[in-house]
Structure 1
Amino acid sequence: MAWEAADAESAAFTKLWAALPGDQAGRLIAGTGSDTAQVPAPATAYRTLADGRTAHTRLAVAESTAPCPLRERQRQMQTVLFTKLFGDREVAEVADTSADLGFDGVDLLIRDGFTASPTSPADISTAVSRCREGGLSVPLATTDLSDPAAYPAQSVLDACAAAGIGTVRLGFWKYDPHTRVTEQIDRARRDLDVLGEIAERAGVRLALQLHGGTVHSSGALAHRLLDGRDPATFVAYPDPGNQVVQEGREDWRLTFDLLATWLGCVGVKNGGWYPAALDPSGRRAWASDWFGLADGMVPWPAIIAHLRAADFGGVLTLHSPYALPYAQVLDRTRTDAAYIRRLMAG
């Protein structure tokens, strides 16, 4: 079986493996599924099986009297830029600008009218190739995939896998206030059952993002959908900014605690609320907006410190959701990127 750097975690493992002294590397113990990793916590890699699926493997190093690099090195989070802000601009501009802004990679939006289209799988490989030429990784793609019968799921996931994209964000299961929420959750779980089988065949992981207007807006609701699912196939995608500006707000520590088993990527943005006009009854209305990462209600210094302490080695995807002229969005994005890098450096 060949080892593959399917995403940021496995790439980090490959570097750590290469740094091991020969005698320690020879004593590496590999297990699959729920085997517990001893060092680090956990070390994770991926391997390609005979049927093309990607197996999630936990690793442990046998005790040794010599110092072990795996114990001494912390896994590194990776910053990527969500490409939605670029609209339909050419992929060369997307790649060059993202690199200039200082990101490690991009979160590729696969949607009609943007960098890549779900009906044109060739767009995906073209975009990934161009980004990698510019020194960028593409560990994550964002799609609108939720109903497997209404989206070219297999072709898109196959194209992502072939391009080396390890994780694909799913679309949304929107909340309908006219239908019992338990029925909506059951329907979403049935869709996820089917999508999980497709993802396993393709060899990618599926990410469930916390988003307003859905039956997965909070950690508690997302847990209902992820409970019992293999983190080799499904990952959680907390988005504290969405929880502040939209709905699903809960203590951020509760969110990350509930979703720790599946944690794979984190949406990064900030926002808040402010008093607006009075309504006819005399009630004060409140409005929300997106703010710079250092200016909103999300306590990013505490969250990043928590992720560092937990040895999180996944993806931080910066969204830059600002409704501003393009050049001004880029200025804010540069500031946000510098801010989050300072937090990551401790």
Structure 2
Amino acid sequence: MNRRTFLTTTTAALHLDAQAPPSARPSLCLFSKHAGKLDYKDLAKFSKQTGFDGVDLTVRPGGHVLPEKVTDDLPVAVAILESSGLKVPMITTGLTNPKAPETSATLRKAGELKIPFWKPGYFRYETSREGVVDIDRKLAEVQIALGGFALLSRIHNICAGFHNHSGSYVGAPVWDTWNLISLLDANHIGFYFDAAHATAEGGEWTWHSSLEIALKRMKMLAVKDFYWEKDKGKWKMRWCPLGQGMVDWPKVMSRLALAKFNGPVTLHVEYETPNELKAVADDFAVMKKLVDDAYGKA
């Protein structure tokens, strides 16, 4: 089956994303990577005490649920979190091959547990010895993979969110992702939008256009902050506490509220800190205020 035929057969049902009702608010979630040393019970206790609505659970090598144990361990993790009054609205995976056995196993179990969203792994551009990047070939390769993910997601009643990661990652320019997914079923694949990485790629204003593109089909939002720093003569991203960096989070949240976005909003704490759990709690307070200011207090 060639790529054109594959896309035609897997995208016959094209849907426009339904908007959230006016009263809807997003679920505030902890990315469980940042509580990686906690077992399921302690993760649930910490997340609930901090004030989170749910957990974005890592289901990948080194994560809270290992891919080879997903059938047995994911139901246990979800049951413990839900018994504490927490939601599990999404899982973060490292999956990049729709034909791999662990992909079907993970999506099947997540679907059975009625987890609405999942994040695939990353695809990167390769540079030749001469410094040449074959962009067209890579985009064609990723398009087929995303078509497979959309089809599997439809089979298992779950939805993929493609994350825009800055740098040499496919999808760093958000419009590339739109070109890859626009013909796929909107109910089963969309954007996991990251305003920090969009700001890193888009500077002062282009993150606006990236956000507008993502809002056509936004499923989840990643929350983190950064600023540019010169280190040994080279500019690099320096992750920092939420609200202390370059991302215009009040504008981002206001636009999401206007669009009635109500998907998972996941907190990431990527900066170095001597006490990661305290940093999570501190950044959660900032994130909650940003959402309250934009959406109104619950």
- TM-score if structure 2 supplies the norm length? 0.86
2:276 is the alignment partner of 1:276: no
Report the equivalent of 1:171.
Answer: 121
Q: Which of 240, 245, 264 is the matching residue for 1:291? A: 240
Letter in 1 for 2:23: Q
Length, aligned pairs only:
274
| 1:128 aligned partner | 78
Change beyond 3 A, Cα 1:320–1:36: closer
SS at 1:123 equivalent: helix
TM-score (norm 1): 0.74
Given candidates 162, 167, 172, the residue that maps to 2:112 is 162
Aligned AA (1:129): A
- 1:266 has 2:213 as partner: no
Q: Deviation at 1:255? A: 0.9
Partner of 1:338: 285
Aligned to 1:105: 54
CA contact (8 A) 2:35 2:277 kept: no
The amino acid across from 1:222 in the alignment is: T
SS in 2 for 1:286: strand
Report the AA paired with residue 92 of structure 2.
T
Report the CA distance shift for 1:222/1:248 in structure 2 as closer, same or farther (over 3 A): farther
The separation in 1 between residues aligned to 2:174 and 2:283, in whole angstroms, is: 25
**Separation in structure 1 between the aligned mates of residue 137 and residue 17 of structure 2, nearest angstrom:** 35
Q: How does 1:36-75 map to 2 (within 5 A)?
A: 42-43=19-20, 73-75=22-24
1:214 aligns with 2:164: no
Q: Any conservation in 2 of the 1:145–1:151 contact (CA below 8 Å)?
A: no
The CA deviation at 1:170 is 0.7
1:235 aligns with 2:185: no
Counterparts in 2 of 1:340 and 1:215: CA distance versus 1, 3 Å: same
8 Å CA contact 2:161–2:192 kept in 1: the answer is yes
Unaligned runs of 5+ in 1: 1-31, 44-69, 278-283
Structure 2 portions without partners, runs of 5+ = 1-12, 294-298
Offset at 1:176? 1.1
Q: How far 1:222 sits from its partner (Å)? A: 1.4
Q: Which whole-Å CA distance do the structure 1 matches of 2:258 and 2:16 have between them?
A: 22
Q: Which residue of 1 aligns with 2:10?
A: none
Q: Which amino acid in the other structure matches residue 268 of structure 2?
A: H
Query: Could you list the per-position Cα deviations for residues 69-122 of structure 1 after superposition, in whole angstroms to 9, with x for gaps in the alignment?
Result: x6xx42111110100112253111111111111110000000122210111121
Deviation at 1:297, TM superposition (A): 0.5
* Structure whose CA Rg is larger: 1
1 or 2, which has the higher helix percentage? Answer: 2
Q: Which residue of 2 aligns with 1:203?
A: 157
Note the C-alpha offset of 1:139.
Answer: 0.4
Looking at structure 2, the residues matched to 35 and 208 of structure 1 have their Cα atoms a distance apart, in angstroms, of 17
Query: Deviation of residue 224 (structure 1)?
Result: 2.0
1:171-219 Cα shifts (integer Å, max 9, x gaps): 1111112341111000000111222221111111111000133111121
